[in-house]
Amino acid sequence: MKSAIIIVLLLVIAIQTARRHTLERGLLQAAQRMKAQLSNETTVRLALPCPSRGAEQLLAGLNDLLELRQQERADYRRKEQQLRRQIANVSHDLRTPLTSILGYLQLLEQEDLSPEKREEYFRIVEGRARTLQSFIASFYDLSRIEGGELPLERELVDLGRTLSDQLAAAYEQIEEAGLEMEVDVADGLPPVWADSGAVTRVFSNLLTNALRHGTGALSVKLYREGGCIVSAFSNQAEGITAEDVDHVFERFYTADKMRTGQSTGLGLAIVKALAERMGHTAAARWEDGWFTVLVRWSV
């Protein structure tokens, strides 16, 4: 009887010893895989060859940390690529007007240059310099807006009146652009809480964007939709695609793939940043050849 008990005890000890060695070997393998995983691009979940509630809970926590690390690594790579692209775009957008200015300054050094040509070149240099100044100012403004350094004072703003003032101020530009314009501002719209200067900047940027890229027709609407007032600037646009719409609010993004200097891609980024700073939202859509930017102002 005693020998049977001893045998059973020895079997139990042997089984427990085997389980412990298996568990230790599994934990060692999991640790090695986790170490390799830290430098790997893909995530493979750690597992044990034998069940153990405590060890499995530990590995579950480690798996969650590994997935989080992989996600952080992917986000870092994405942001790094975006930063590199933005730096390249900034460099190109600065270099384009600077190269033009330097070229015309060299032409102005010619002794046999006629007064007419000299005046023409001076006007071109001035225009390129103003373009460069506008780009630097827009970049600085966007940085201040996104960094929360631009002071905004919330007050009740009449969007209809502000929009009408902007349209009146841009009347000559609209005429020169030769756009067929449609304006539809609903009556009796309530004011919204916003910064009046920022609202003016939003409408001004939207008009500038439409005048610069629009062809044929321009539609400006202001209407009530649920708990919001929607301002919609729509223009017929050539050269823009549905793919572009997903990126139009990104810094320095422009549908001008050659980056000829006609657009820096900052205008709509400023629109979105200002709208969000004031507690509102901006979105874009492209449908049947029409590009539309909508700002939804919470009432």
Model confidence pLDDT, tens digit, residues 87-105 = 666 676 677 788 888 888 8
**Length of the chain, please?**
299
**Nearest Cα to Cα of residue 229 among 203, 197, 191:** 191
Higher pLDDT: 95 or 291? It is 291
pLDDT at 13: 57
Is residue 3 scored above 80 in pLDDT?
A: no
pLDDT at 17: 58
pLDDT at 1: 56
pLDDT at 228: 94
pLDDT at 27: 54
Is residue 275 scored above 90 in pLDDT?
A: yes
Higher pLDDT: 273 or 215? It is 273
pLDDT tens-digit readout, 115-138: 898 899 899 888 888 878 877 877
pLDDT at 225: 93
pLDDT tens-digit readout, 39-68: 565 555 555 555 566 566 666 766 777 777
Is residue 259 scored above 50 in pLDDT?
A: no
pTM of the entire structure? 0.63
Which of 1-10, 267-276, 285-294 is least confident? 1-10
For 159, residues 6+ apart whose C-beta sits below 8 A from its C-beta are 189, 191, 192, 199, 222, 229, 231, 297
Q: What is the mean pLDDT of the chain?
A: 78
- 28 band by pLDDT with thresholds 50, 70 and 90: low
- 261 band by pLDDT with thresholds 50, 70 and 90: very low
pLDDT at 29: 62
pLDDT at 279: 93
**Nearest Cα to Cα of residue 228 among 266, 201, 257, 190:** 190
pLDDT tens-digit readout, 215-255: 778 899 999 998 999 999 998 877 677 777 877 887 766 54
- 10 band by pLDDT with thresholds 50, 70 and 90: low
Class of domain 89-146: mainly alpha
% of the chain beyond a pLDDT of 70: 70
pLDDT at 111: 83
Mean pLDDT for 12-33 is 57
Q: What is the CATH number of domain 155-298?
A: 3.30.565.10
Mean pLDDT for 18-39 is 58
% of the chain beyond a pLDDT of 90: 24
